[in-house]
Amino acid sequence: MNEKLQAQWNTAPEGFDQPKESNHRGSLNPIEYPSSTVGIKRKAVVYTPPGFSEQASYSVLYLLHGIGGTEREWMDHGCPQQILDNLHLGGALSPMIVVMPNGRAMTDDRATGDLFEASKLQAFETFESDLLQDLIPFIESTYPVHTTSAHRALAGLSMGGGQALNIGLQHTDRFAWVGAFSPAPNTREPEVLISSPERLVEDLSLLWISCGLDDRLKPISDRTHHYLEEIGIPHLWIEEAGGHDWEVWKRDLYHFAQRIFK
Ligand code: FER
């Protein structure tokens, strides 16, 4: 990648994550949906953009958290409302809502105790069914949204980045846009992850993989990128300044959001 492009990923404009004076603001709303997968009602947070209208039709980005988080993690640490409001007000985004689920699909899905316990790691796998069978149908019957893969994106950070790859690349009929920000060791091995290269090339509009150069999980991203390159699958590969942290993920959201649904 040339130096100019590389530099682009290491910056976002001053104040990109700060609230601007405006009467037009989006909003973040907690929701609950029935999960047949877990057998309980599960929580999520939904961002609707400035000027949101039931008469319009929106695309949907499903945005996933890391191992230490819940459905609140992006809201509490990633300034999604400020970043997305500012982009919407600048005319830089397609009309979209953003759904932030809880990716630990089990009865007690709080981020407490030993987060690496087997049952808790398994719950990040179980989320595949919760997302596809429960959450997406709920969102699509509740919000005024488009329901084709061209209008659905799946992205996440760390554990959520691994989920975005594991789920997204198996279900390219459901998601045309997939983004992994600093994907974690839950990311399947490349040969398993990419079981049907031709299908990926045909179905995906964007496959994004990014990681901070100082992130100790970077070998996971490297491995995935090298395999994709080797077998000739187009993807956006971003090595950026920083570690396993929110400065990186906020910037990733800023850039990724502008590239989807276009
Ligand atoms: C691991 C190291 C980190 C791992 C997961 C993580 C499943 C996740 C980190 C995060 O989500 O921030 O070995 O194994």
pLDDT in tens, 83-94: 999 999 999 999
Which of 63, 64, 116 is the best mutation target for the ligand 1 pocket, counting ligand atoms within 8 Å of the beta carbon and taking the most? Answer: 116
Domain assignment present for 169: yes
Domain assignment present for 3: no
Q: Return the pLDDT at 195.
A: 93
Residues 214-219: contacts with CB within 8 Å, 24+ apart? 214/241, 214/242, 214/243, 215/182, 215/242, 215/243, 215/244, 215/248, 216/244, 217/158, 217/182, 217/183, 217/184, 217/185, 217/244, 218/182
Q: Indicate the burial class of 153 (C-beta count within 10 angstroms; 0-12, 13-18, 19 or more).
A: buried
Which of 63, 67, 163, 245 is the best mutation target for the ligand 1 pocket, counting ligand atoms within 8 Å of the beta carbon and taking the most? Answer: 67
Domain assignment present for 40: yes
Q: Return the pLDDT at 116.
A: 98
What separation in Å is there between the alpha carbon of 106 and the centre of ligand 1? 18
What separation in Å is there between the alpha carbon of 184 and the centre of ligand 1? 5
Per run of 10 residues, the mean pLDDT along the chain (length 262 residues) is 69 93 91 98 98 98 98 98 96 98 98 98 98 99 98 99 98 98 98 97 98 98 98 96 97 98 97
What is the Cα–Cα distance from 11 to 120, expressed in whole angstroms?
A: 35
Domain assignment present for 221: yes
Domain assignment present for 20: no
Q: Return the pLDDT at 7.
A: 74
What is the Cα–Cα distance from 193 to 76, expressed in whole angstroms?
A: 31
Domain assignment present for 129: yes
Which tens digits make up the pLDDT trace of 137-188? Answer: 999 999 999 999 999 999 999 999 999 999 999 999 999 999 999 999 999 9
What separation in Å is there between the alpha carbon of 157 and the centre of ligand 1? 10
Pocket of ligand 1 (CB under 6 A): 66-67, 121, 158-159, 184-186
| pTM value surpassing 0.85 | yes
Domain assignment present for 16: no
Enclosing domain of residue 194: 28-108+115-259
Q: Return the pLDDT at 3.
A: 61
Helix 118-129, helix 159-168: angle, nearest 10: 40
Taking alpha carbons only, the member of 207, 200, 204, 96 closest to residue 150 is 204
Domain assignment present for 8: no
Q: Name the E strands within 36-110.
A: 40-48, 59-64, 96-101
Q: How many domains does the chain have?
A: 1
Say which CATH number the domain at 99 has: 3.40.50.1820
What separation in Å is there between the alpha carbon of 75 and the centre of ligand 1? 20
